[in-house]
DNA sequence: CCATATAGTCAGGCTACTTGCCCACTGTGT
DNA sequence: ACACAGTGGGCAAGTAGCCTGACTATATGG
């Protein structure tokens, strides 16, 4: 196999990712969540996992704790999350999604699933399952958020 | 197939894309190009295709012509491209890569191919070819650059 | 020749980050 | 009991990359 064929796959994966991100963004907008960016979605993932503080979130997102603090402040103002005092640490504040935050998360998941289901329709069940399995094989531990 | 399995594929494609972008970025840095961002790489793709002006580039990248102009100015200052008068239009300036610009483009392509070759190694030739074909099937015309 | 459209730049502003600094609280060792 | 290094979080200021709006110069169709 030649490099230009490898390159073709590289471009393909970029375009497919673009489809996914656009699909999520548009799906969220259709559901009335037009004030969230993908970064917020990645934050929701970490917060949903529980026991998240601002510093935890910063590590997860790969940004400074100040940036994470600003992001949390915005999401709190917009009613997506609340900050509660940490039960065992007077310095820390536990992050938790509000009902609106949970609704937004479910909306993002639904929009993502829609886009992926479209792939399944295009490919057929068999090829899609193969794709899913193959992608799962390629996943290595590391950052989720593909930002640049 | 359930939604959470679709969701798993969505996360997988995000993580795989993150690998690719990080691989390109790091590969370029190893080759001495530490002052270019992925956006610049997408610009190189369009400029390499020939007959590119600032406005063409703006359309291709999905940004305003002002933003494209700033990007071109930076790349020109850093020696990656030159602006020549357009042969048939006194307003326009044709963009062209310098030798350094071509070298950077080749470096990015090599780094991308390296990352994709690693996938081929992990998967084996047969599964990799299937993945490539499947991804090619999913590609639809649209923006290349997955920004958010 | 004039009206309108287009290529590009200049100026200013917004937003999402950054670094540097500070304070409050924790917990560990002596 | 207490000093002290470490950590969670916020404040302030700076930066980078994008935006909108306004402008000049050139092109093009009546």
Confidence at residue A3, expressed as pLDDT on a 0 to 100 scale = 72
For the stretch A106-121, pLDDT in tens is 999 999 999 999 999 9
What pLDDT, in 10s, does the model give residues B55-70? Answer: 999 999 999 999 999 9
Which nucleotide lies at the shortest CA–C1' distance from A68?
C17
Chain B residues 36-65 with Cβ under 7 Å of strand D are 37, 39, 62-64
Residue B110: per-residue pLDDT: 94
Using a CB–CB cutoff of 8 Å, tell me whether B5 touches chain A. yes
Q: Do the Cβ atoms of A21 and B125 come within 8 Å?
A: no
Confidence (pLDDT) at B2:
66
The answer to whether some atom of strand D lies closer than 7 Å to the beta carbon of A92 is yes
The whole model's pTM is what?
Answer: 0.88
Mean pLDDT of B111-133: 94
Confidence band for B91, pLDDT divided at 50, 70 and 90 = very high
pLDDT band at B5 (very low <50, low <70, confident <90, very high): confident
Residues of A in Cβ contact (< 8 Å) with B138: 12, 16, 19, 119, 122-123
Among B98, B87, B82, B115, residue whose Cα is nearest residue A146: B115
Instruction: List C-alpha distances in Å: A82 to A31, A45, A72, A73, A102.
Output: 22, 15, 9, 9, 12
In the predicted model, what is the mean pLDDT of residues B34-51?
A: 93
A49 at interface of B, judged by CB pairs closer than 8 A: no
pLDDT at B74: 96
Cβ separation B14–A144 shorter than 8 A = yes
Nucleotide nearest to B64 (CA to C1'): D19
- Is any Cβ of chain B less than 8 angstroms from the Cβ of A121? no
Q: What is the CA radius of gyration of chain A?
A: 18
Q: Which string of DSSP letters, residue by residue, matches chain B?
A: --HHHHHHHHHHHHHHHHHHHHHHHHHHHHTT--S--HHHHHHHHHHHTS-B-HHHHHHHHTS-HHHHHHHHHHHHHTTSEEEEE-SS-SS-EEEEE-HHHHHHHHHHHHHHHHHHHHHHHHH-HHHHHHHHHHHHHH--SS-S----
Of the pLDDT bands very low, low, confident and very high (cuts 50, 70, 90), residue A139 is confident
Per-residue pLDDT tens digits for A8-42: 899 999 999 989 998 999 999 999 999 999 999 99
pLDDT on residue A74: 96
Residue B141 has pLDDT above 80, yes or no: no
């Amino acid at each position: 196999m030649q490099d230009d064929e490898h390159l073709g796959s590289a471009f393909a994966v970029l375009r497919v990712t673009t489809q996914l991100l656009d699909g999520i963004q548009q799906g969220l907008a259709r559901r009335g969540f037009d004030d969230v960016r993908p970064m917020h979605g990645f934050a929701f993932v970490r917060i949903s996992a529980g026991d998240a503080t601002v510093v935890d979130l910063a590590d997860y997102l790969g940004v400074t704790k100040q940036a994470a603090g600003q992001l949390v402040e915005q999401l709190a103002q917009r009613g997506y999350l609340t900050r509660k005092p940490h039960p065992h640490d007077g310095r820390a504040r536990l992050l938790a999604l509000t009902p609106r935050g949970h609704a937004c998360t479910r909306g993002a998941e639904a929009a993502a699933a829609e886009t992926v289901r479209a792939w399944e329709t295009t490919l057929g069940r068999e090829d899609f399952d193969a794709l899913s399995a193959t992608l799962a094989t390629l996943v290595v531990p590391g950052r989720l958020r593909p930002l640049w």
